[in-house]
Amino acid sequence: MTDRVINVLFLCTHNSARSILAEAALNHIGKGRFRAFSAGSSPRENQQPNPLALKVLTNAGISTEGLRSKSWDEFGEPDAPAMDLVITVCDNAAGEVCPYWPGQPATAHWGYPDPSEAPGDVAQKQEAFRQTLLAIRHRLELLVNLPPEKLERTMVERSARELAASN
Cα distance between residue 3 and residue 143, in whole Å: 16
- Is residue 99's pLDDT more than 70? no
User: Domain boundaries in the chain?
Assistant: 6-160
CATH architecture observed for domain 6-160: 3-Layer(aba) Sandwich (3.40)
Per-residue pLDDT of 116-129, as tens digits, reads: 999 999 999 999 99
Q: How confident is the model at residue 155 (pLDDT cuts 50, 70, 90)?
A: low
Average pLDDT, the chain: 86
Torsion of CA 96, 97, 102, 108, to 10 degrees: 50
Phi and psi for 137 in degrees, rounded to 5?
A: -60, -35
Angle at 9 (CA atoms; ends 167, 21), nearest 5 degrees = 55
Q: How much is the pLDDT for 124?
A: 97
Query: Rounded to two decimals, what is the model's pTM?
Result: 0.86
The C-alpha atoms of residue 143 and residue 135 are separated, in whole angstroms, by 13
Predicted confidence (pLDDT) per residue in 41-97, tens digit = 887 778 899 999 999 999 999 999 999 999 988 988 888 998 989 998 986 555 555
